[in-house]
Structure 1
Amino acid sequence: MGSGSDDERTDAATQTPDPPRWLRNVILFLSGQTVSLFGSMLVQYAVFWYLTIAYQSGLVMALAALFGFLPQAVVSIFGGVWADRHNRKYLIMGADAAIALSTLTLALIMMTGYDAVWLIFATMAIRSAGAGIQMPAVSALIPQIAPTRNLIRVNGINGSIQSAMALLAPAAAGALYAWASAASDGAAASLIPIFFIDVATAVIGVGILAFIPVGTVRRAADAHTGYFADLVDGVRYIVHHAFVRWLLVLFAIIFLLTVAPSNLTPLMLVRSFPAGESQDVVNLAVLEIAFSIGMMLGGILVASFFAKRSRIGMIVASSLVFGVLSIGLGLSPNVWVFFGFMFLVGLAVPFFSTPSMTLLQETVEHERQGRVFGFVGIVMAVAMPIGMVVFGPLADLVPIEALLIAAGVLTFVVVGLSVWLPAGRRAIAAARRASQVAEHDPGTAAAVVEAEMHAKES
Structure 2
Amino acid sequence: NSLAIWHLYLAGAVSGLFGYLQWMSLSASMSMIVPQQHYTRVSALESAKGYGSNILAPAFGATLYYAIGLTGILILDLMTFFLAITTLAWVTIPQPPASQSEGTNEQKRWQQLSFGFRYILKRPSLLAILIFLLSGNFVGNIGGAIFPAMILARSDDNAAVLASVEAASGIGGLMGATFLSIWGGFQRRIYGLLLGSILSRISGVVLGLAQLPWIWSTARFWQTFFGSFVGSSNQAIWLSKVEPAVQGRVFTSRYLIAQVASPIGIAVAGPLADFVFEPAMQPTGMLAGVFGGLFGTGEGSGMALQFTLVSIVGSAIALAGYGFPMLRDVEKIVPDHDVSSH
Same fold (TM over 0.5): yes
Q: Deviations over 1:321-368 (max 9, x none)?
A: 233222212111111111111101111112212221222222223333
Q: Deviations over 1:188-233 (max 9, x none)?
A: xxxx95x545523332234445656599x99978758744322212
Q: For residue 353 of structure 1, what is the amino acid of its counterpart?
A: G
Q: Deviations over 1:121-164 (max 9, x none)?
A: 454334323333343345567899xx778x98998876654443
**Do 1:295 and 1:346's aligned partners in 2 also have CA atoms closer than 8 Å?**
yes
Q: For residue 248 of structure 1, what is the amino acid of its counterpart?
A: L
**Do 1:363 and 1:447's aligned partners in 2 also have CA atoms closer than 8 Å?**
no
Q: For residue 146 of structure 2, what is the amino acid of its counterpart?
A: L
Partner Cα separation in structure 1 for residue 272 and residue 22 of structure 2 = 34
Q: Percent identity?
A: 19
**Do 1:170 and 1:289's aligned partners in 2 also have CA atoms closer than 8 Å?**
no
In structure 2, the residue matched to 1:288 is: 166
Partner Cα separation in structure 1 for residue 149 and residue 136 of structure 2 = 20
Partner Cα separation in structure 2 for residue 148 and residue 312 of structure 1 = 20
2:125 matched to 1:243? yes
In structure 2, the residue matched to 1:400 is: 303
Deviation at 1:401, TM superposition (A): 0.5
Count of residue correspondences: 307
Q: For residue 57 of structure 2, what is the amino acid of its counterpart?
A: A
Q: Aligned-residue CA RMSD in angstroms?
A: 4.0
2:272 matched to 1:372? no
Out of 20, 33, 41, the position equivalent to 1:132 is 20
- Call closer, same or farther: CA 1:432–1:273 in 2, change over 3 Å: farther
In structure 1, the residue matched to 2:288 is: none
**Do 1:251 and 1:379's aligned partners in 2 also have CA atoms closer than 8 Å?**
no
Deviation at 1:388, TM superposition (A): 0.4
In structure 1, the residue matched to 2:116 is: 234
Q: Which has the higher contact order (CA 8 A, sep 6+)?
A: 2
- Call closer, same or farther: CA 1:158–1:432 in 2, change over 3 Å: closer
Partner Cα separation in structure 2 for residue 126 and residue 148 of structure 1 = 30
- Give matches, 1:199-218, under 5 Å: 199-208=74-83
- Give matches, 1:94-133, under 5 Å: 108-110=2-4, 120-133=8-21
Deviation at 1:304, TM superposition (A): 3.9
In structure 2, the residue matched to 1:383 is: 261
Q: Which runs of 5+ in 2 are unaligned?
A: 279-301
Deviation at 1:392, TM superposition (A): 2.2
Out of 313, 320, 329, the position equivalent to 2:207 is 329
**Do 2:142 and 2:310's aligned partners in 1 also have CA atoms closer than 8 Å?**
no
TM-score (norm 2): 0.72
- Give matches, 1:175-324, under 5 Å: 193=69, 196=71, 198-208=73-83, 226-276=108-158, 280=159, 282-305=160-183, 307-324=185-202
**Do 2:194 and 2:321's aligned partners in 1 also have CA atoms closer than 8 Å?**
no
In structure 1, the residue matched to 2:234 is: 356
**Do 2:48 and 2:173's aligned partners in 1 also have CA atoms closer than 8 Å?**
no
Q: For residue 326 of structure 2, what is the amino acid of its counterpart?
A: R
Say which is worse superposed, 243-252 or 129-138, in terms of deviation: 129-138
- Call closer, same or farther: CA 1:250–1:305 in 2, change over 3 Å: same
- Call closer, same or farther: CA 1:275–1:408 in 2, change over 3 Å: closer
Deviation at 1:249, TM superposition (A): 0.7
- Call closer, same or farther: CA 1:208–1:355 in 2, change over 3 Å: closer
Deviation at 1:270, TM superposition (A): 1.7
- Call closer, same or farther: CA 1:344–1:213 in 2, change over 3 Å: closer
Deviation at 1:313, TM superposition (A): 2.4
Partner Cα separation in structure 1 for residue 60 and residue 120 of structure 2 = 42
**Do 1:261 and 1:403's aligned partners in 2 also have CA atoms closer than 8 Å?**
yes
Q: Which runs of 5+ in 1 are unaligned?
A: 1-106, 181-191, 449-458
- Call closer, same or farther: CA 1:408–1:335 in 2, change over 3 Å: same
**Do 1:260 and 1:385's aligned partners in 2 also have CA atoms closer than 8 Å?**
no
Partner Cα separation in structure 2 for residue 143 and residue 358 of structure 1 = 9
Q: For residue 270 of structure 2, what is the amino acid of its counterpart?
A: G
Q: For residue 165 of structure 1, what is the amino acid of its counterpart?
A: S
Partner Cα separation in structure 2 for residue 259 and residue 176 of structure 1 = 32
In structure 2, the residue matched to 1:164 is: 52
Partner Cα separation in structure 2 for residue 392 and residue 258 of structure 1 = 13
Q: Deviations over 1:2-47 (max 9, x none)?
A: xxxxxxxxxxxxxxxxxxxxxxxxxxxxxxxxxxxxxxxxxxxxxx
Q: For residue 285 of structure 1, what is the amino acid of its counterpart?
A: A
Deviation at 1:288, TM superposition (A): 2.8
In structure 2, the residue matched to 1:74 is: none
**Do 2:139 and 2:313's aligned partners in 1 also have CA atoms closer than 8 Å?**
yes
Out of 426, 431, 452, the position equivalent to 2:331 is 431
Partner Cα separation in structure 2 for residue 409 and residue 219 of structure 1 = 43
